[in-house]
Amino acid sequence: MPGMNSGLDLSDPAVVAAFKAALVHQGLIALLIFVFVGLSWVSIRAWLNASPAAAGGETVASAPAAAEPTWRQLLRIGFGLLWVFDGILQAQPKMAIGLPSQVIEPTAASSPPWVQHVVNWAGTSWSYHPMQAGASAVWIQVGIGVWLLAAARGPLSRLAGLASVGWGLVVWVFGESFGGIFAPGLTWMFGAPGAAAIYVVAGALVALPERAWHSRRLGQLTTAGTGLFLLGMAVLQAWPGRGFWQGTVHGQPGTLAGMTQTMAQTPQPGFLTAWVNAFTAFDQAHGFAVNLFVVIALTVTAAAFLSGRPRLIRPVLAGFTVLCLADWVLVEDLGFLGGLGTDPNSMIPLILLAAASYLALARAPAAAAQPATVPAAAAGWRARLQTAIAPRRLATANISSVAAVGAIGVIILGAAPMAAAQASPVADTILAQAIDGPSAPLDGPAPAFTLTDQHGRDVTLASLRGKVVLLTFLDPVCTSDCPLEAQEFRQAGQQLGADSRRVELVAIVANPVDYQLGYTQAFDQQERLDGVPNWLFLTGDPAVLAKVWAAYGVTAQIEAAGSMIGHSENAYVIDSHGRLRQEMNFDPGPGTTATQSSFAAELSDAARQLLSQS
C-alpha cells in the first residue's frame, strides 16, 4: 500500500531517540498536569472551606450513594487496565516508525481494496508524523485508562466510557482494519471481530446512564447480545470450505494450523513457542476434532447466554473462560509478543465482557436506590455537567475525580499535537534526518559556474544573486533516486508558497554521457517540472560539467556495464549573496510519500531560514 511504509529501519537510533525524547517530554508535562490539577483542587478546597458560606454552615442535601454495580466496576476497571497496558505497548521504541508497516499494513493486507484505501490514509498520516502519532497513541490510551480507573461515578465516569468508544472505534477501523471482518478467514479464534470492537462495546456500557445500571433488563440484553455474537461465531467456525475442519490440506497446514504455525515463528519465550508448536501439531493431526470442539463450545456457551438463566450461565462461563484463556495462549499467542503488539488481542476483553454480562444479570439490584446527586438524575446533561463543575462540587470532589480530570488533560496532551500535525501536509523532518543524518553548516563562496538551462539559455551562479539557491546534481536518465530527489525539490518549492519567488531550485546534470538538452527537457517533462517557474536544470559539455562537479566535490562516474551513472547525492543551500551555507546528504532513502515530504521540508526549512536572515 502506498505511503504506509516509511522504509526506515525500525530501530533507527535517531528515530528511537526522538520518540523516547518526545515521550519523556510529554510525560513530564503529564506529570505537571496532575500536579497542577491536584494543587488547584487543594487550593479551591481550602478557599471554599474558609469562605463565609462554608463557615455559615451551608449544607448540601445528599442521599447515600448507591454502590456502583459489580458488573460496571468490572468493565470499568478491567478495560481501564487494558487501555493503560495498550498505552504502555504503544511506547515500544519501534512503534513510532513500525506501526504502519508492521501492524496496520499486514492487518489490512487481506481486506478488500476499499478497506485498504481507508486504512492506507491513516497509515500514511501516521508515517508523516511518526513522533507525534506514536506519542499521541501512548498518552491517549493511558489517559483513557486512568480516566476509567479513576472516575467511578457520575458524568465524568460516563464520559470516560464515551472516550473509550470513540478511541476504540478509531483503533478498530484504522488499526485493526475493521477487525478484519471484511477479510476472508474471519474467526473468533484469531480475534474476530477485533479487540477494539469489544473495547467499544464495553465503553458504551460504561457510558450508559445510572438508571440503566440498576435495570435487570440491561443484564438480559447484554447476555443475549453475547449469546448471539457467540452463536454467529460458532456458525462461522462450522461453515465448510473455510479450512478449519482440516488439520492439513494437500500436505500443508490447514487454516488454523497455518495461523498458529506463523505465530510460533514470532520472537517470544521458548516455552510459548513450544506450546504453540505443540498445539499446531495437535491441530494438524486432529483438525476436525479441534474444530468440532470449538464449534460445540461456542454453541453451548451461546445457548446458555441466550437462555438468560444465571444458574446455567455460571458454569458455562467458567468453561468459556478456560477456553478463551487456552485460545489466548495457544492460538493468539498472548497477542502482544513478537513483532509490534499493540494489545493483548480479544480473549481477555471478551472474558471481561462475558463475565460482566453474567454479573449484570445475576446481581441486578432489586430496587434502584437513588444515586447521590438526586436532582442531577432527573435533570438534563447540561445541568448535571454544571453541577459537576460547580465550585462547591470541586470542594467536595474526591481524589479520584481529580485524577480523572488529570487524565483528561493527558488525553488532550496526546491528541493536541497530533491534531496540529495532521493539519499540516508536510512530513516531519526527522525522517530525512534518520535517513541521511543532519546537514553540515558551511560558510564560504559557492563555486561559480556558467551552464545552459533546459531552454538553452546561459545561466551563471552570479545571475542568481538575490535569491536563495537550493542546488543538487541529477542524472536525467537515472531510474530510481534522481526522480525522487527532483520531486523533493518540486515539493520544497510548493511548501515555500509565496517565498518560492525568492528561491531558485537548481539541478546540474550528473551524467557525462546523457547530458544533452534533450535529456534535461525529457526529465523535466517526466517529473512535471517543465511548468515550475523557478526550476533550472543546467547542463554543459562534459568537460565543463566535470569542472563544476569537482568544484562542489561531486563525483559522477561511469559504472559497470548496465548500471546507471554513480554520482554523489548532495544538496547545497546557497544564500542570496552566493555563499554556501549548508550541505545535506540527499540520498532519498525509500522514497515514500512521507520521506519525500520530509526531505522537501528540510530543504524548505533551510531556505526559509536564510530568507529570514536576508
Q: Are 27 and 101 spatial neighbours (Cβ–Cβ below 8 Å)? A: no
Q: Does position 296 bind another protein by CB under 8 A?
A: no
According to the binding rule CB under 8 A, does residue 233 interact with another protein?
A: yes
The type of residue at 608 is R
Cα–Cα nearest to 434, from 277, 599, 280: 599
By CB under 8 A, name the one of 182, 368, 385, 530 that touches another protein.
182
The residue from 47, 239, 293, 381 that contacts another protein (CB under 8 A) is 239
Nearer to another protein, 125 or 237 (CB): 237
Q: Smallest gap, in angstroms, from Cβ of residue 408 to another protein? A: 35
Helix (H, G, I), strand (E, B) or coil at 504: strand
For position 295 contacting another protein by CB under 8 A, the verdict is: no
Angle, alpha carbons 359-361-366 (nearest 5°) = 105
Segment near another protein (CB under 8 A); pick from 272-280, 410-418, 508-516, 593-601: 508-516
Q: What DSSP state is assigned to residue 168? A: H
Cβ-in-10-Å burial (0-12, 13-18, 19+) of 240 comes to exposed
Piece of the chain touching another protein by CB under 8 A; list 27-35, 185-193, 390-398, 399-407: 185-193
CB nearer to another protein: give 1 or 133: 1
Q: For 530-590, list the strands marked E by DSSP.
A: 535-538, 556-557, 566-567, 570-574, 579-585
For another protein, which is the closer residue by CB, 99 or 313?
313
**Beta strand segments in 314-448, E:** 440-445
Beta bridge partners of 468: 503
Question: According to CB under 8 A, which residues from 410 to 469 bind another protein?
Answer: none
Smallest separation (angstroms) from another protein to the CB of 103: 20
Using CB under 8 A, pick the residue from 436, 514, 575, 602 that binds another protein: 514
Q: Which of 135, 565, 584, 603 binds another protein (CB under 8 A)?
A: 565
Helix (H, G, I), strand (E, B) or coil at 440: strand
Q: Beta-carbon neighbour count of residue 583 at 10 Å?
A: 17
| 558 lies in the binding site for another protein (CB under 8 A) | yes
Phi and psi dihedrals of 591, rounded to 5? 70, 30
Strands 468-474 and 458-460 turn out to be: unpaired
For another protein, which residue of 167, 229, 279, 535 counts as binding (CB under 8 A)?
Answer: 229
CB of 192 or CB of 355, closer to another protein: 192
300 binds another protein (CB under 8 A): no
Query: What b/e sequence results for 89-126 when a residue is b if at least 16 CB atoms lie within 10 Å of its CB, and e otherwise?
Result: bbbbbbbbbbbbbbbbbebbeebeeebbebbbebbbbb
DSSP letter for 313, please.
Answer: H
Q: What type of residue is 538? A: L
586 binds another protein (CB under 8 A): no
483 lies in the site for another protein, by CB under 8 A: yes
Residue 482 Cβ vs another protein, minimum distance, rounded to whole Å: 8
Asked whether position 522 contacts another protein by CB under 8 A, the answer is yes
Stretch near another protein under the rule CB under 8 A, chosen from 14-22, 363-371, 385-393, 511-519? 511-519
Binder among 13, 106, 184, 375 for another protein (CB under 8 A): 184
Euclidean distance between the first and the last CA atom of the chain, given in angstroms as a whole number: 43
Q: How many CA atoms lie within 13 A of 513 on its CB side?
A: 10
CB of 117 to another protein, least distance (A): 16
Of 41-80, binders to another protein (CB under 8 A) are none
Query: Cβ atoms within 10 A of the Cβ of 273, count?
Result: 18
Q: Which of 516, 555, 613, 614 binds another protein (CB under 8 A)?
A: 516
Instruction: Determine if 511 is a binding residue for another protein (CB under 8 A).
Output: yes
Residues in contact with another protein, counted by CB under 8 A, come to a total of: 51
CA torsion, points 598, 603, 609, 612, in degrees to nearest 10? -110
Q: Establish if 240 lies at the interface with another protein (CB under 8 A).
A: no
Q: Choose between 91 and 195: whose C-beta lies nearer to another protein.
A: 195
Which of these segments, 86-94, 97-105, 221-229, 279-287, binds another protein (CB under 8 A)?
221-229
Cα–Cα distance measured from residue 339 to residue 346, given in angstroms and rounded to the nearest whole number: 17
Count Cβ neighbours within 10 Å for each residue of 545-581 and write b for 16 or more, e otherwise: beebbeebebebeeeeeeebbebbbbbbbbbbebebb
Q: Pick one of 44, 236, 337, 412: the residue that binds another protein (CB under 8 A).
A: 236
Instruction: Answer yes or no whether residue 525 interacts with another protein by CB under 8 A.
Output: yes
User: Using CB under 8 A, which of 110, 266, 321, 422 touches another protein?
Assistant: 110
Binding-site ranges for another protein (CB under 8 A): 110-112, 181-187, 192, 220, 224, 228-229, 231-236, 239, 242, 306, 308, 477-480, 483-484, 511-516, 518-519, 522, 525-526, 558-566
